Structure 1
Amino acid sequence: MMRDLRHVVIVDRSDYGKYRFPDGRPFLDPERYKVTFLTRPGRGRDVRSEDAVTVMHTDTYSEQDVLKCVPALAAGRPVDAVVSLSEWTLLPAARLREALGVPGPGWQRMLPLRDKVRMKKHFAAHGVRTPEFMTIERPGEAEDLLKRHGAVVLKPVDSMGSAGVHLVGSRSELQRLDREGLKNGCRYEAEEFIDGRLFHIDSVVDHGSAVVATASTMLDPDTVFPLGGACRSVLLDDGPERDTALAYNDQVLATLPWFSGVTHLQFFLDRAGHPVFCEIGGRPGGGGIAPAFRHRFGVSLVRAALLPQVGEAFPEFREIRPPAERSSGHVVVYPRDLGTLVSYDRVPQEEWIVQFSPLYRAGQRIVPASSWGQGIAMITVCGPNSRTVVQRLDEARQALRVAVRP
């Protein structure tokens, strides 16, 4: 008799490797699941026969293109769940759930976790302090907002990684942007600039409550990506600041009682120490967040985000590291030189390196970064406290050497 397999469609944008345990076993056991991996053209080549996965290709960034796959999916085994773990595929996956009639959050529910305007309206309506904001079609429309606050931030409504963000501190600068125009094809919003520090909290969430959460602060701006520069993040030590961050995270998540999975929340502490909302994603954070989480708890954030979407319970989350290794941080290192990458001549090898991730391949052309994660390398480190972690981030960054052909 044919096994009663549950059919799961994963809407992704890259490859299948992140859906496996370190020993190579797939998160979704072929004895229990039939998996259709819907990904972008040229991706998914790492799927193996033992994964028992069917690969389909389309532009998974496009809701319309994903919906074109409905007839093929509907003609096969009934779909039991649709999974998405990427910012770019959250809404296409939601559309697909609705079209196939499978359980899980639909488009309207996922919109506040993707669209920055709908996002702020949702949280402001629930008593969460947000910056004053407005939708704009051109920069000049934000002139009154600039007068009230002295500085504004212009953001694409549906982008990520700080791509296309403009910090504007003068009327002349706003007029220049108005003349030049903003990025074609993007909807923009303008919001007051919050003078304060940026934090992020990464949580495993069960129906709007954090099961486990890690709180970090950014040490460098994540909106500029200078040659030879870096962007660092470090976990907060125990203390009042961390307590404030986690309490604020609880307040934000409580407005999403329907959500289970993983969230990446960004917020500011203003000069008075009060939290102000920045944005939230309904997916695992990027950079060194996932390696640090796996290092500390022994659980993949990808798996934690996947399980509730297929109706399975979370694993137990417990500290598996001694105190000397529980703190962590990561750094995105931006290239010093432009040209063609020849090789990574020297990479940090210290025992406190959790993960070194080269972001270019030999022969690739190095271009100026246009978003937060477009560095030459990503390095995650651990240590006993934030001070040691910061020292190690800087040491690792200085140790890195790459050969570039101009």
Structure 2
Amino acid sequence: MRRILVFAKTPHHKTPYDRWLEGTGVEPVILAPAEYADGYRHLEHVHAFEEYDGNQLVEKTALRLARELGVEAVFARAEADVLRAAQLRELLDLPGQRPASALAFRDKVAMKDHLAGGPVELPAFREVQSAYTLLEFVEEHGYPVVVKPVSESGSLGAAILHDEAGLDAYLRRPWRGRSLVETFVEGQMYHVDGLVIGGEVAFVHPFRYVNDCLSFRSDEWVANLPLSPADPAYDRLVAATRQVLAGLPTPVNTAFHAELWITPDDRVVFCEIASRTGGGMISTTVPHVFGLDLDKEWLYAELGLERTFDRPGYRPAGGLNIPPRSGLLEHLPLGGEPECVRETVLHGQAGQVFHGGVKSGLFLAGYVVAGDTEEDVVANMEHVAAWFAKETRWRPVEAEEGVR
């Protein structure tokens, strides 16, 4: 029996590894957060962990299982697992992404050092080693600037400083460790998602954000809309992403999620890239639009299995992410969605207390929304968001009630 060790930071309904591998002769060995492990309990090898992201028993168990069971590959689709999986591969000399590559895709300073001076434009940037670094950068480049942790995802911890008051407010807070400061880029943000298989880009497609990836901070929805291949930005974004992949130590097999801007004066500027599938509703939306599952195809590539897609199609649809508000959720609509909804993903239930949005990839309700054209999809997203707001009830709570 062939085995693959899987860092499974997703529920079984989203990543049914056993169903994907049925008939291939490969058995998954699952390490999962405690809240997701029950969905995999029908499998023989399942190990659950509390506080999964920072729990170093995950690494200890992974090493033991990999040795005892003779796993031949390691799979990890979540940002929190990219480096721990790469370190395990290097330790056991298994195929796949190694730490130097993982760091280039996860550490924003290392990433931009690789790409600086290349064909794709970057914002001016610098690693923040102390408050003095930030002060010098502002003196040199002026406002606004963006400060963000070097290795978080989903815009977590990012701050836009527009003026001296904003800078002072940022400096007043405790030091957060390694950060990156860069000049603020005006423009429409896009993301480009795809797959590298056998060292070649096997699938790539650009999306635009409807609203933006910081909308969660004001409890506003954000959506991901695939561009039509006829869109004027399509080829430019694909070309820039290919150049970024060529400038980094890209794994032979990987998914990727890149973010870029097109500025008001029509420049393509790179933001960042990750060696994983996109968060939020991106990987849920892709099968509805293109007829392929990025995670499944990536898993197959890591095992040397033949891919199951040839030429993906294109049907207009997008992923709508609605963050929680602050308060106690009294009623969440379960069913009755507008006809344009193709799939629903809920990450909460009535009776829970929330404190607003946390990061762009985390949401209370997600919907795949279809339409006849891109314009129809956007209009339908607005309709679904309004329906959700009308059907959902919230009640203010005292701060000491906390999160249930």
| C-alpha distance 228-280 of structure 1, shift in aligned 2 (>3 A) | closer
Matches within 5 A, 1:153-302: 153-182=146-175, 184=176, 186-237=177-228, 238-255=230-247, 256=249, 258-302=251-295
Matches within 5 A, 1:42-191: 42-49=35-42, 51-55=43-47, 57=49, 60-62=52-54, 64-69=56-61, 72-73=64-65, 75-124=67-116, 126-147=118-139, 148-182=141-175, 184=176, 186-191=177-182
2:356 to 344, 368, 377: 368
TM-score, normalised by the number of residues in structure 1:
0.88
Whether 1:357 aligns to 2:353 is no
Tell me if 1:328 matches 2:317: yes
Shift of 1:360: 1.2
Q: What is the distance in 1 between the residues matched to 2:152 and 2:219?
A: 25
Alpha-carbon deviation of 1:203? 0.8
Q: What is the distance in 2 between the residues matched to 1:272 and 1:31?
A: 51
Amino acid aligned to 1:26: R
Matched residue type, 2:88: L
Structure 1: gaps of 5 or more residues: none
Give deviations 1:252-281, integer Å, cap 9, x for gaps. Answer: 222345432211110111222121111111
Cα deviation 1:83-128 (Å, max 9, x = unaligned): 1111110000111112222122211121111111111111225443
Gap change, CA 1:335 and 1:83, over 3 Å in 2:
closer
Deviation, 1:80, is 0.5
* 1:82–1:59 distance in 2 versus 1, CA, 3 Å: farther
Q: In the TM superposition, what is the alpha-carbon distance from 1:341 to its structure 2 partner?
A: 1.7
**Number of aligned residues:** 391
* Structure 1 residues 379 and 328, CA gap change in structure 2 (3 angstroms): same
Instruction: State the AA in 2 paired with 1:359.
Output: H
Instruction: Give me the identity figure in percent.
Output: 25
Q: Report the Cα distance in structure 2 between the residues aligned to 1:334 and 1:103, rounded to whole angstroms.
A: 38
Deviation at 1:42? 4.4
Partners in 2 of 1:318 and 1:232 — Cα distance?
25
Q: Is the 8 A contact 1:9 1:35 kept in 2?
A: yes
> Among 391, 394, 398, which residue is 1:404 paired with?
394
Q: 2:219, 2:357 within 8 Å by CA — same for their partners in 1?
A: no
Partner amino acid, structure 2, of 1:405: R
The root-mean-square deviation of aligned C-alpha atoms, in Å, is 2.5
When residues 95 and 228 of structure 1 are mapped into structure 2, their CA distance, relative to the original with a 3 A threshold, is closer
After alignment, is 379-388 or 111-120 more displaced? 379-388
Native 8 Å contact 1:12 1:38 kept in 2: yes
Aligned-residue offset at 1:191: 0.8
- Contact 1:85/1:306 (<8 A) preserved: no
| Contact 2:96 2:253 survives alignment (8 Å) | no
